[in-house]
Amino acid sequence: MTRKYKVLFLCRENSARSIIAEALLRELAGHRFDAFSAGPEPAARVHPFAVAQLRPGISDLGILSPKSWLEFTGEWAPRMDLVVALDESVDAHHTPAFPGEPASCTWAFADPLADDIAESERARLFEKVFWQIVRQMSAFIELPQYATPASVAATAAAIPALSAATQRVTTCDA
């Protein structure tokens, strides 16, 4: 039986980048991965520009919602294999301890919700970030260590390969 890897994507409000990453991983490789997303300060709803980027190709937008990362810290929480921070302010020094001691890394993408972005440019930045996440996710799901069942230790050992393969990972801790 093939094991599904559990991946948690984090960003501050869990309304844009992490939601996009969760939806893309579920859509592109849901047969091999269980995808989740969360953040320390979850927004009230998924950002409309994130929904607009996902709408053309994602089959089940209704299951996407901002969540607190605390939902993934209890005894009952699913045991993640990998935690990916998509927000530079959400790194290993700020994240809570997740059960099972999953591997972690950071993929750096611009924040399309940053206060210094002109509203007239926000939709364009959302599109740019969306396609950057698509490219990163495509490289990630093609990594050979995710093609067959592996232990958490093997997953952790694979994190440097992810960095070399994608050149978008800024920090990784195995």
Residue 99, token pair as written in the block:
């059960």
Domains of the chain, earliest start first: 5-173 (3.40.50.2300)
Q: Higher pLDDT residue, 83 or 149? A: 83
Arithmetic mean of pLDDT, 145-153: 55
Identify whether the C-beta of residue 61 lies closer than 8 Å to the C-beta of residue 27: no
**What pTM does this model have?**
0.82
Gap between the Cα atoms of 13 and 42, Å rounded: 4
- Please determine, for residue 15, whether its predicted confidence score (pLDDT) is greater than 80: yes
Identify whether the C-beta of residue 169 lies closer than 8 Å to the C-beta of residue 163: yes
Q: HSE of 156 in the Cβ direction (CA atoms, 13 Å)? A: 10
CA angle 24, 168, 126 (to 5 degrees): 50
Q: What is the per-residue pLDDT for 135?
A: 96
CA distance from start to end of the chain: 26
Q: Which residue has the tokens 């002109």?
A: 118
Q: Higher pLDDT residue, 29 or 163? A: 29
Q: What is the per-residue pLDDT for 16?
A: 95
Gap between the Cα atoms of 66 and 44, Å rounded: 7
Q: What is the per-residue pLDDT for 169?
A: 39
- Which helix (H) or strand (E) segment holds residue 5: the answer is strand 5-10
Residue 12: which residues within 8 A CB-CB, separation 6 or more? 39, 40, 41, 87, 89, 90, 111
Q: What is the pLDDT of residues 86-141, one digit of tens each?
A: 987 786 567 898 998 899 889 989 999 988 888 889 999 999 999 999 999 999 99
Q: What is the per-residue pLDDT for 129?
A: 95
Q: What are the C-alpha distances in Å from 69 to residues 3, 18, 116?
A: 24, 12, 26
The separation between CA 122 and the C-alpha centre of its own chain, rounded to angstroms, equals 21
Residue 109, token pair as written in the block:
């993408």
- Please determine, for residue 170, whether its predicted confidence score (pLDDT) is greater than 90: no
